[in-house]
A and B are shown apart, each in its own frame.
Chain A
Amino acid sequence: MEKIIFYILSAVILSLSLMSVLSRKLLRSAVYLFGVLTAIAGFYFLIGYHFLGAVQLTVYAGGIVVLIIFSILLTHEIDHQMPTPEWSRVAVAGALCVAGAVMFIQLLQGSLFSRVEVPEQSDLNTLGNTLLNPGGGGYLLPFEVVSILLLAVMIGAIVIAKQRHSVDNSSQEKQAP
């Protein structure tokens, strides 16, 4: 049963990501990306990491996709069609990607990962204790660094997207006559 669900999920992930990359309509491409991210959350649920799946759903599918769709709607018309890329660019990029994928999958087939049989203890308690443990093997320092990064990004986004007064005045003067 889990095997069938895994195959369905991977078919959804691969086909939707391909459509998201190939689609010429911008908004449709963002919706396909939403499908890919939701299917990945389903994969995390299937593998047993429920907290990670919930975070993927809320932050990626709920937050990032909404931001991307907002920016698309703010900067384009709703049925904006992108021009098709040139054939030379498509050929070079496609050849590079196919070559890279074939090489990596070839490498994977040759490798033998020894499966470890350890009693699983992937509950939320171990996760939280490891995340906030200042001692050996803990992740308290990266946690704090990420929080400072979030603060810096918040300030930076406000400063970058803020309307400057000089630009504002000149654009209003242009529009006035």
Chain B
Amino acid sequence: MIPGVSLIEILTVSTLMFFIGVYGFLTRKNLITILMSLELMLNGAAINFVAFNKYLYPGQPNGQLFALFLIAVAACEVALAIAIVINLYRKIKAVDVEQVNTLKH
């Protein structure tokens, strides 16, 4: 563990980071910035896993493995989202969520 730093301080940082991500997710309208806010939220969750692993169960690598799987799934998600964004731009020349209604009609 980090000497002099308690678990609660790390959890506070990750909580603030998660809610900054939620704020961006709610206010932004561009698909790419929504994706970036999602990355912030995922990273806050990963910090939580790692901090709990280090402070409460230092003998096992389970939290580390959860963070690894989280990174892999985030990479998958970003790859698919970028493909969708590029295809969308090719179709309607915009990536704003308010102009995307091609599935509605």
Contacts and interface: CB of A to CB of B under 8 A. Distances in A.
Contacts of B24: 20-21
Contacts, number: 212
B79 A74 contact: no
B61 A100 contact: no
A85 B28 CA distance: 7
Interface residues of B, number: 71
Interface in B1-45: 1-5, 7-13, 15-17, 19-24, 26-30, 32-33, 35-37, 39-40, 43
B100 interface: no
Contacts of B59: 118-121
Interface in B35-92: 35-37, 39-40, 43, 46-47, 50-51, 54-62, 64-65, 67-69, 71-76, 78-80, 82-87, 89-91
Contacts of A20: 24, 36, 40
Given A115-B55, A149-B73, A96 B79 contact: no
Contacts of A121: 59
A156 B12 contact: no
Nearest to B61: A127
A31 B28 CA distance: 17
A153 B83 CA distance: 10
B56 A113 contact: yes
- What class of interface size applies to chain A in its complex with B? 35 or more
A99 B23 CA distance: 11
Determine chain A's interface SS by DSSP, over half rule: helix
Interface of A: 2-3, 6, 10, 13-14, 17-18, 20-21, 26, 29-30, 33, 36-37, 40, 43-44, 46-49, 51-52, 55-56, 59-60, 63-64, 67-68, 70-72, 74-75, 82, 85, 89-90, 92-94, 96-98, 100-101, 104-105, 108-109, 111, 113-116, 118-122, 126-127, 130-131, 139, 142, 146, 149-150, 153-154, 156-158, 160-161, 163, 167
Interface of B: 1-5, 7-13, 15-17, 19-24, 26-30, 32-33, 35-37, 39-40, 43, 46-47, 50-51, 54-62, 64-65, 67-69, 71-76, 78-80, 82-87, 89-91, 95
